[in-house]
Amino acid sequence: MTPAGPGVRIEIRPASAAGAGAGPGWPATTGAVVVDGADACFVPRHPFLAGTTYAVRVDGTETLLHRAGIDTPATAHVVGIHPTCPTVPRNLLRCYVEFDRPMSEGFAARSVRLIEANGTELVDALLPTEPELWDGARRRLTVLLDPGRIKRGLVGHRAVGYPLPTGGDVRLVIDERMRDADGRPLRAAAQRSYRVGADERRPIDPTAWTVPPPPTGTGDDLVVRFDRPLDHALLGRCLRVLDPLGAPVPGRATPGPQDRSWRLSPARPWRAGEHRLVVDPVLEDLAGNSVTRVFDRELDRPGGRTPPPASVPFLLA
């Protein structure tokens, strides 16, 4: 019971719990009662939730009050789905879904799905993660394919096989049931289609990249081309260029189309001398292979522990 003004008792519960029971195990909603003259105002400790019905009992008389749901139009939409390349390896590990505004957690499991070309949902292909993997602003969702079905030798891989169908076509679908931070659905569903290609089991080898040196004295972009698409998110932070003195070259870095390249627009003209493209070893490709390790390394395969190159030199004449 929540005491109110003289002789008045106010008790509030969600209607769904109002008839469940009494006693200390079924507490009334916590809050404070502010008495203003003849009026008593209940201030909940946590704001009343939209779409919830409350049972308000005042001096033994109960009234149901419904707090309206969000009725403003849906505006949130998907602005990006990565990878962006048309063909992904069969052992694809990770996708990213980007939204134009902050979203709510707790809806991805029902809203994000992989669907085959014939319309069949690939059940159990995606790894349920609780809590979901969002960036700090809740605008980018990381979606993992079940690694237990990708890793060779594990029971999941042997018994159920790869999450993606060999040689087939799939769509990653984000339907309207996703909710934005205000609880509204998406304005429209979004999807991206992929052809499922061969496995990618090689470590990332920066020496296989092309790094054509830009002309000295110009502000031309440096464009690094990879031998395969790389992870979109990691590409955003794992590469940098050092000048001949070892100082980072300032500029604007952006992943290229399909994450097959990386472009650095320098903030100042290029200087002559040996530069180095430095690679953070955590950089991964679409299948989770990094510079330092492959996703699952065969122990009897030689060369698995060869130290990877930490950087790629290129000379500006």
Partner 1 sequence: MTDHGLRTGTVAPTSAGPIDFGPDGILFVADNVAATVHAVDVADPGAAAASEPFDLDDVDARIGSLLGSDAADVAIRDLAVHPTTHNVYLSVQRGHGAAGTAVLVRIDRVDASISEVLLVDVPLATLAITDAPAEDDERQDVTLPLGAHEGEELPVGERTIRIQRSAIRTSTITDMAYVDGMLFVAGLSNEEFSSKLRRYPFPFTGRAADNNLEIFHVSHGQWETAAPIRVFVPYDDGRSILASYTCTPVVHFSLADLRSGTKVVGRTVAELGPLNQPLDMVSFVQDGAEHLLIANTSHGLLTIACADIDRQEPLTQMTEPVGVPRKTEELPGVVRLDNFGEGYVLALQRDDSGRHHLRSLKVSSL
Site for partner 1 in 44-63 (CB under 8 A): 44-50, 52, 54
Q: Which is nearer to partner 1, 86 or 183 (CB)?
A: 183
Q: Does 179 bind partner 1 (CB under 8 A)?
A: yes
**Site for partner 1 (CB under 8 A): which residue of 83, 147, 214, 229?**
147
Q: Does 199 bind partner 1 (CB under 8 A)?
A: no
Q: Which is nearer to partner 1, 20 or 315 (CB)?
A: 20
Q: What are phi and psi of 239, to 5 degrees?
A: -120, 140
* 15-34 footprint of partner 1 as x/- string (CB under 8 A): -xx--x--xxxxxxxxx---
**Residue 84 has which token pair?**
């962006």
By CB under 8 A, which span of 109-117, 176-184, 204-212, 254-262 interacts with partner 1?
Answer: 176-184
By CB under 8 A, which span of 77-85, 211-219, 281-289, 308-316 interacts with partner 1?
Answer: 281-289
Site for partner 1 in 82-141 (CB under 8 A): 93-94, 101-107, 124, 127-129, 131, 133-140
Strand pairing class (9-14; 53-58): antiparallel
Q: Does 247 bind partner 1 (CB under 8 A)?
A: no
Q: Does 176 bind partner 1 (CB under 8 A)?
A: no
Q: Which is nearer to partner 1, 3 or 212 (CB)?
A: 3
CA distance 126 to 128: 6
3-state SS, residue 202: coil
Q: Does 298 bind partner 1 (CB under 8 A)?
A: yes
CA distance 47 to 123: 37
**Site for partner 1 (CB under 8 A): which residue of 2, 84, 87, 142?**
142
Give how many residues touch partner 1 by CB under 8 A. Answer: 85
Residues in contact with 72: Cβ distance below 8 Å, sequence separation at least 6, in sequence order: 182, 184
Q: Which is nearer to partner 1, 279 or 316 (CB)?
A: 279
3-state SS, residue 250: coil
As a residue count, the chain comes to 317
CB 77 within 8 A of CB 110: no
CB of 46 to partner 1, least distance (A): 5
Q: Does 258 bind partner 1 (CB under 8 A)?
A: no
Q: What is the dihedral of CA 227, 91, 134, 236, to 10 degrees?
A: -10
Q: Does 231 bind partner 1 (CB under 8 A)?
A: yes
CA distance 95 to 101: 18
3-state SS, residue 173: strand
Strand pairing class (87-89; 190-197): parallel
By CB under 8 A, which span of 1-9, 58-66, 78-86, 145-153 interacts with partner 1?
Answer: 145-153
Q: Is the peptide bond before 203 cis (omega within 30 degrees of 0)?
A: no
Question: In this structure, how many other beta carbons lie within 10 angstroms of the beta carbon of residue 167?
Answer: 10
By CB under 8 A, which span of 167-175, 190-198, 230-238, 254-262 interacts with partner 1?
Answer: 230-238
CB of 214 to partner 1, least distance (A): 23
How far is residue 201 from each of residues 134, 242, 274, measured CA to CA in Å?
Answer: 27, 30, 32
